[in-house]
Chains A and B, each alone.
Chain A
Amino acid sequence: MSLAKRLAYFVGLPILLLVLWWALTIGNTNFFVPKPLQLFEIFGDVWFGDRLVTDVLPSIGRLLAGVAISIVLGIVLGIVIGSVRLLRQLTEPSLEFLRAIPPPVLIPVLALIIGINDQMKVAVIIFGCIWPVLLNTIEGVRAVDPVLNDTCSVYGISGGARMRYLVLRSASPQIMTGIRQSLSIGLILMVISEMFGSSSGLGYAIVQFQRTFSVPEMWTGIILLGLLGVALSLVFQFTEKRVLRWYHGLREVDR
C-alpha cells in the first residue's frame, strides 16, 4: 500500500467526522451542542493557564504515582505468590474477591480511613490498579515453560538470576496485559476521586464547569481526558512493542 493511501486511511474518517460535526452545528444555537471551532479556540485558554499547574499536572502526577506503585507492588507480590504454591492456594479466593469489588466504592471507604487528600487519591488508584497487575503476574509466573525451567536448573541458573533472566521475562506478556488494564482503571479512578469532595484536579474542574453550566469548557475537559487516555495508550503501546518484541515475533512465526 502506498504511503498516500495509508495516510488517507489513517486520517480519512477522523477528518470526515470533524467536518460533519462542523457543518451540522454551523447555524445551531442550542446551548448544549458544542461547536468544534469554538472548542478549539477556548481549549488553550481553559487548560494552559493557571489550571495547568493547579489541576492538570497534579492530577497526572497522582495518576502516574498510583500506577507506578501498583505496577511495582503488583509484580513483586505476584512473583512471590506465583512462586509459592501454598501462598497461591491461601490467597486465590481472597484476591478473586478483592478484584471483584468495583474500585470506585473504595473511594468512600478510603476517604473515611485516610481523609480526603492527595494520599487518599493515590491510595484509591493503587487499590484499583494493583489487581490486574498482581493477578496477571501470578498467572505468568505459574505458566513458565517447564523445559526452560529445567534448562535453568541444568545450567545452575537459580535465585535472583532465575528471576531476572527467566521468570520476569517469561511473565512479561501477562504483566503487560495487566498494566494495560491498570492504566485505564487508573485514569477512571483519577477522575472520580477528584469528583468526590475535592477542590482541585481535572475531575473537579470538569464537574465545576458542568455545575456552572459552562458547557463549552466542560466539553474541552472531556476532550482533554480523551487526549490523556489516548496519550497513555500510545506510550503504553510504544513501550509494549519494545519490551515484547520477542513475543510478537514468536507469535508471528507460530501462526
Chain B
Amino acid sequence: MTAAQSPPATRRSIPWNQHPIASPMLGIAGILLFLAVWELASRTGIVNPRFLPPASEVLLQLGRNFVSADFWTAVGQTMTSWAIGLAIAAAAATVIGFIIGGSDFLRRATHTTIEFLRPIPSVALIPLAVLLFGVSIESSLLLIVYASFWQILIQVLYGTADVDNVAMDTARSYGLGWWARVRHVVWPTTLPYLITGLRLGAAVALVLAITAELVIGTEGLGKQIELNRSGGSVVPMYALVIATGLIGVVINIGMRFVERRALRWHSSVRGDVAV
C-alpha cells in the first residue's frame, strides 16, 4: 500500500530547488543574471558606457589577459609580496604568540598594548613606508606584515589560552619539559587557531598588497589598475578589477580547503571547530 501510493504525493512535497544540483545551477544562474544586468545597464546607457563598459567586453579583455605575459608578470609581483608578507607575519605572530601565550604574566602585561596597536589601520603607515622604502617591495611588505600580523597573533593567543589544563598537568606530571609540552600539548591545540588566523591574514594581506600598489605605486596588479585608470583605458581596468576578485576567491577557497584538511587529521579538535 505504501509503495504504490506515496510517490506521487511526496514528489510534489519536495520543492524543486532542494534538489542536490539545484544550488550550484542557481548560483551560476545568479552570476549570469548579474552579468546580464551589467551588460544591459551599459548597452542601454543607464550608466555611461564610457565609465561602465559592457560586461562582455570586460570578460573578453579578461580572456586576453589570461594569455598575456604582462598580466601574469603583474600577478606574479602581487602574489610575491603577498606570499613573503604573509610568511613573515605568520612566523613572527606564531613565535611571539607562543611566547606571550605561554606565560600568564606576559599575557596580562601585553594586553593593553596589543589592544592599542591592533586597531591602528595599517594604511596609516603608507607615508612612513614611502619615506623609508619608496616604491620598492619593502613598502608593500611593511603594510602587509603589519596588517596580517595582528590577525594571526590574536588567533594564536586564543589558541594558547584554549589549552586544556588537565592535559597540561598530565604532561607536567609525566616530566615533560617546556619544549616537549609546547610540542605535544600546546602546538596541537593551537594549530587550528593558527590556521584560522592564516586564512584571515591571507585575505587581509591581499587587500594590503593591492592597496600598496595602487596608492604607493609598487609593481603589481594595483599599479596596473591605476595606470589604466589615469590613461583612460577603462575596459582593461575593469578586467583587472575582476582579476583581483578572482584571486581573492582562489585565496579564500584555497585557505578554507587547507583549514578543513588540517582540522580533519586533527581529530582531537574536530568536534569543536569543524562546525
The answer to whether any beta carbons of A and B sit under 8 Å apart in the complex is yes
Main secondary structure of the interface of A (DSSP, over half): helix
**A175-188 to B contact mask, C-beta < 8 Å, 1/0:** 00000000010011
Enumerate chain B residues within 8 angstroms of A93, measured Cβ to Cβ: 27-28, 30-31
CA separation between A232 and B203, bound complex, in Å?
22
Q: Decide yes or no whether A61 CB sits under 8 A from chain B.
A: no
Shortest Cβ distance from residue A178 to the other chain B in the assembled complex, whole angstroms = 14
A210 and B215: CB pair below 8 A?
no
Given A89-B17, A218-B128, A222-B125, also A101-B30 (CB < 8 A) = no
- Interface 9-mer from A150-158, A161-169, A189-197, A244-252: A189-197
Q: Decide yes or no whether B3 CB sits under 8 A from chain A.
A: no
**B203-236 to A contact mask, C-beta < 8 Å, 1/0:** 1001100110011000000100110010000100
**A196-238 to B contact mask, C-beta < 8 Å, 1/0:** 1000000100110110010100100110011001101100000
Q: In the complex, how many residue pairs between chain A and chain B have their CB atoms under 8 Å apart?
A: 170
Q: Decide yes or no whether A9 CB sits under 8 A from chain B.
A: yes
Contact of B124 among A94, A101, A106, A222 (CB under 8 A): A222
Q: Decide yes or no whether A27 CB sits under 8 A from chain B.
A: no
Q: Decide yes or no whether A147 CB sits under 8 A from chain B.
A: no
A102 and B120: CB pair below 8 A?
no
- Interface 9-mer from A48-56, A71-79, A109-117: A109-117
CA separation between A86 and B23, bound complex, in Å?
9
CA separation between A233 and B222, bound complex, in Å?
29
Q: Decide yes or no whether A21 CB sits under 8 A from chain B.
A: no
Given A89-B17, A101-B244, also A192-B124 (CB < 8 A) = no
List the interface of chain B (C-beta within 8 A of A).
15, 17-18, 22-23, 26-31, 33-34, 47-48, 51-52, 108-113, 115-128, 130-132, 203, 206-207, 210-211, 214-215, 222, 225-226, 229, 234, 237-238, 240-241, 244-249, 251-252
A-B contacts, 19 listed (Cβ < 8 Å): A9-B108, A13-B113, A32-B131, A93-B28, A94-B30, A97-B245, A100-B247, A100-B251, A102-B211, A105-B222, A105-B244, A188-B121, A191-B121, A192-B215, A209-B127, A218-B131, A222-B127, A226-B116, A232-B119
